[in-house]
Amino acid sequence: MVLKDEMLAKLRRIFDLNLYEVKIWVALLSRGISTAGELSNMAGVPRSRTYDVLESLERKGFVVMKLGKPIQYIAVSPKDVVERAKKNVKEHAERKVKDLDKVKSTDLIKTLDNLYKKGINFIEPSELSGALKGRNNIYSHLESLIKNAKQSVVLVTSGDGLIRKYEAFKNALEHAKKKGVTIKIAAPFTEKNSEALKKLKSIADVRHVKNLNARFAVVDGKHAVLMVLDDKDLHPNYDVGIWLNSQPIATALTTMFDRIWESAPKK
């Protein structure tokens, strides 16, 4: 069975294989057992590269080399390959996390941090603004602001956004609360977000707003993050935020928030 280019590209992406690896693997799956020469012809991979490719697939747990001569290779069940690939990804991720944790206490990070602090001194506060593309980037930036908050965090969000923000910022909000930071969240209360709401109430002061179609955050009365698109039926990759280090804008948003806050029931 010959797979289409789109399917091969998908397999490469999912299993983190190069083109030769995925071609040889698919060829072997269609045979069950085969020699390197046969796989080279079937997959259209140069014979000089086929042995290296099979060795790589063997290390990753996709194939098994059969004992005896001529040397043959046996395909591993795709379901077993998935489990092995998951294990490899987890182990790789755990190693990377450990390496990154070690870096935090090294002179390298201290040097980079000093460079950053020196560079930031040359920037006017009004110039510290930018576009944040994609919900992951927006939330990563917001999480950093919340973790570094010293006085206050204000969040206005949608009904579904309340669920997302609990999941994304739970640890950062708990950390801020322990430091004595005031946390206020305004959002529509719905049956769908009732569980997240219940958990958020132990961390923040949360109030119900009905007709405010807005999403923004203000941290310490100077950092403002505005999400400029309606999140209804919006793909996370296309979400857009604007970060502003501007006390006048932050003050204006806080004033608007305070008016909403005073008229909003706690429930």
Among 88-92, 175-179, 187-191, the minimum mean pLDDT is found in 88-92
pLDDT value at residue 188: 92
**Percent of residues in the chain assigned helix, strand, coil, to nearest 5:** 55, 15, 25
Mean pLDDT in residue range 75-104: 87
Mean pLDDT in residue range 35-64: 92
pLDDT value at residue 218: 96
Question: Over 80: is that where the pLDDT of 212 sits?
Answer: no
Mean pLDDT in residue range 220-243: 91
Q: Which fold has domain 126-263?
A: Endonuclease; Chain A (3.30.870)
The tens digit of pLDDT for each residue in 130-145 reads: 889 999 999 999 999 9
Question: Over 60: is that where the pLDDT of 149 sits?
Answer: yes
CB 215 within 8 A of CB 231: yes
Among 149-153, 221-225, 258-262, the minimum mean pLDDT is found in 258-262
Question: Over 80: is that where the pLDDT of 115 sits?
Answer: no
Which of the 8 DSSP states describes residue 126?
Answer: G
Residue identified by tokens 């956004």 is 161
Residues 107 and 116: their CA atoms lie apart, in Å, by 14
CATH of 5-88, one of 3.50.50.60, 1.10.260.40, 3.40.50.720, 1.10.10.10: 1.10.10.10
Question: Over 70: is that where the pLDDT of 22 sits?
Answer: yes
The yes-or-no answer to whether 5-88 and 126-263 have a common fold is no
> Domain map of the chain by residue range?
5-88, 126-263
pLDDT value at residue 266: 64
16: tokens are: 């983190």
Structure confidence at residue 1 as a pLDDT band (50, 70, 90): very low
Residues 233 and 161: their CA atoms lie apart, in Å, by 12
Residues 92 and 103: their CA atoms lie apart, in Å, by 17
Task: Label residue 61 left, alpha or beta by phi (over 0 means left) and psi (-120 to 50 means alpha).
Answer: left
Question: Over 90: is that where the pLDDT of 174 sits?
Answer: yes
226: tokens are: 């505005």
In sign, the C-alpha dihedral spanning 129, 131, 136, 138 is: positive
Higher-confidence residue: 116 or 154?
154
pLDDT value at residue 121: 54
Residues 53 and 247: their CA atoms lie apart, in Å, by 58
In sequence order, which residues have a C-beta less than 8 Å from that of residue 106 and are 6 or more positions away? none
Q: Is 43 exposed, middle or buried (0-12, 13-18, 19+ CB in 10 A)?
A: buried
Burial 194-222, CB ≥16 within 10 A → b, else e: eebbeebeebbebbebeebebbbbbbbeb
Question: Over 50: is that where the pLDDT of 20 sits?
Answer: yes
Residue identified by tokens 């998951």 is 86
- Calculate the average pLDDT of the chain: 87
- For residue 241, the cross-strand partners are 132, 227
CA nearest neighbour of 210 among 145, 260, 142, 140:
260
